[in-house]
Chains A and B, each alone.
Chain A
Amino acid sequence: MHAHCESGATTNLLRHYGVPMTEPLAFGIGAGLFFSHIPFIKVNGVPGTSYRSYPGTIFKTLMKSLHIDYTMQQFGSNEAKGKQALDQLLDQGIPVGMLSGIFYLTYMPEAYRFQFNAHNLVAYGRKEDGTYLISDPTLEGLHEIAPEDMQKARFAKGFPEPKGKLYYITGVPQQLDMEQAIKKGIKKNIWLYTSPPIGIFGNKAIHTLARKIKTYPDKLTDRQAVLYVGNIIRMQEEIGTGGGGFRFLYAAFLQEAAEILGKPELKEFSQRMTAIGDQWRNFAYSAARICKARKSDLVSYNDLSDMLHQIGHDELRLFNELKKVNI
């Protein structure tokens, strides 16, 4: 079992081909750490917040960095073609990663089954009656799903739309340069996190959210404000992130990177990232107190805003200093 769906699915696919891979390495080489807050894209009336890079990029970045051949396909609205492609691959014994809408995944506990379309899973086979055999990276054990439900999940609508997206490995080179891939992953993540010039992506988006959250009590009804804050908590903690909005997962990556590259200074960055993960946990804890009390006098929206600004400053400083390390 893994914490996060995409890095977990990627790890599972690689291990199938005998590539030694851990979830933190997949996440780090895939440059998965991110932040985005997009006030104008709303799902069920709540603005979108994410702690990771866009779905699919972790897998792609990792494959490219390790020079592993892969195929990634989408099928628009051609559901029949999407099913045919999946079935043919599975019948050849090729495990297939897929993007799916969690609402239609009947094997999931109902608690998780909202309209959320950025969930990754791996299908590894098909029974005679067409039932798919599923390894879901965020759950223990193996699962099954009826073909009709799998189709609905693969062609779920909303944001993002999976459009039947599937991905699989087609060729693994004899030699894998893990060190080079780790270095590339760190550099790419620094760039990804620090460079976006607009305030909805990367580091600036944390400060955008910090400014917005301050205005919630004035601009929103009590009910809305609490739902907005609750959604941030869910994106940070409920959706498989390994805790602290993927910050602990990235800290685990930096620790592994320190050992593999023989750069003990990265261990210090790992510890600092752990401390930032703890700050995110404190933020979620305080945010939950507001949700619980509704009109809270214990913690105010201003306090939440200050916490976010502080986290934003600390993360930017960490990445800027990481840039200076000669890896």
Chain B
Amino acid sequence: MKTNEVPQDKGNYKNRDQSRKVVYATDEKGEYTTVNSDGWEVEHLATIQAWDQAKLELEEVLDGIRKGALSPLAYFMKKNLMDTGILARHVGKWGWQVKRHLKARVFAGLPESMLQRYATTFNITVADIRNFNPDTAEQH
């Protein structure tokens, strides 16, 4: 890539336009140099798509909570962009155990100490989990 071919496409999502990145490109003599770039539409597209997916999954989870199938833990997991594997590592459980805790029925019987571990992981209080309201929850 030549220096004059380095894309300068601004990305207007989630403060992306606050940062530039370094791209290596060759100048008119064919020598390597660095160019500060606002970004490339191709990467913006892929990143926005990943955020759209996260947004969609969060909405699906909120739907599940409203229907009474899923527990608030499912929301906080998705809000923190985790999957059950990552969350399990945080709270010191197996993935299948965390998966069960995401069900409203199982969640209802969880002891305070387990909820506290989740709360610590998500940087919130147990009350935030217990009093969770899907209709006022923050989106991505």
Chain A 23-56: CB-based contact to B (< 8 A → 1; otherwise 0): 0100000000000000000011100000000000
With A1-B36, A114-B50, A281-B1: A242-B15 Cβ-Cβ less than 8 Å: no
Are B21 and A138 neighbours in the complex by a CB distance under 8 Å? yes
Flag if A103 contacts B80 (CB, 8 Å): yes
Interface string of B4-32 (1 = CB under 8 A from A): 00100001011110111111111000111
Task: Kindly state the separation between the CA atoms of A311 and B95 in the bound complex, as whole angstroms.
Answer: 38
Query: Interface centre among A110, A113, A231, by most B CB within 10 Å?
Result: A110
Task: Pick from B65-73, B81-89, B108-116 the stretch touching chain A.
Answer: B81-89
Query: Contacts of B21 on A, CB cut-off 8 Å?
Result: 1, 3, 138, 240
Residues of B within 8 Å of A251, CB to CB, are 24, 32
When distances are taken between beta carbons in the complex, the residues of chain B under 8 Å from A24 are: 24, 32
Check: A278 CB closer than 8 A to any chain B CB.
yes
Once A115-B82, A237-B40 are accepted as A-B contacts, the answer to whether A249 and B24 lie under 8 Å apart by CB is: yes
Chain A nearest CB from B15 CB (Å) reads 4
Minimum CB distance partner of A292 in chain B: B45
Counting chain B residues whose Cβ lies within 8 A of the other chain, the interface size class is 35 or more
Q: Is the CB of A157 within 8 A of B90?
A: yes
**A43 engages B83 (CB within 8 Å):** yes
User: In the complex, what residues of A have CB within 8 A of residue B23's CB?
Assistant: 3, 242-243, 248
A292 to B13, alpha carbons, bound, how many Å? 17
Q: What is the CA–CA distance of A249 and B35 in the complex, to the nearest angstrom?
A: 12
Q: How many A-B residue pairs have CB under 8 A?
A: 127
Interface of A is mostly: helix
Q: Which residues of A contact B97 (CB under 8 A)?
A: none
Q: Does A233 contact B (CB under 8 A)?
A: yes
Bound complex: CA A161 to CA B25 (Å)? 33
**Roughly how many angstroms separate A18 CA and B26 CA in the complex, as a whole number?**
28
**What DSSP secondary structure best describes chain B's contact surface?**
mixed
Q: In the assembly, what is the distance between CA of A44 and CA of B16, in Å? A: 22
Mask, A135-148, CB within 8 Å of B = 1, is 00011100000000
> Do the beta carbons of A227 and B50 come within 8 Å of each other?
yes
Report the Cα distance A232→B45, complex, angstroms. 12
Q: How far is the CB of A162 from chain B (nearest CB, A)?
A: 12
Is B34 interfacial (CB-CB < 8 Å)? yes
* Stretch touching chain B among A169-177, A190-198, A283-291, A312-320: A283-291
Does chain B have a CB within 8 A of A199? no
With A271-B30, A284-B42 known to touch, is A158 a contact of B24 (CB < 8 Å)?
no
- As a 0/1 sequence over residues 240 to 253 of chain A, the CB contacts with chain B under 8 angstroms (1 = contact) are 10111000110110
> Closest residue of chain B to A155, judged by CB?
B90
Instruction: Return 16 A-B CB contacts under 8 Å, by A number.
Output: A1-B21, A1-B36, A3-B23, A111-B16, A114-B50, A140-B19, A140-B20, A223-B53, A230-B50, A237-B46, A242-B22, A248-B1, A249-B24, A252-B32, A274-B26, A292-B45
**3 shortest A-B CB distances, which residue pairs?**
A157-B89, A111-B16, A252-B32
Residues of A that sit less than 8 Å from B by CB: 1-3, 24, 43-45, 103, 108-115, 138-140, 152, 157-158, 161, 223, 226-227, 230-231, 233-234, 237-238, 240, 242-244, 248-249, 251-252, 255-256, 270-271, 274, 277-278, 281, 284-285, 287-288, 291-292
- Since A240-B21, A251-B24 are in contact, a sample of 17 more A-B pairs with Cβ atoms closer than 8 Å, ordered by chain A residue number, is A103-B81, A111-B14, A112-B16, A140-B20, A152-B123, A223-B53, A227-B50, A233-B42, A233-B46, A237-B46, A238-B43, A238-B47, A243-B23, A249-B24, A252-B32, A271-B30, A292-B45
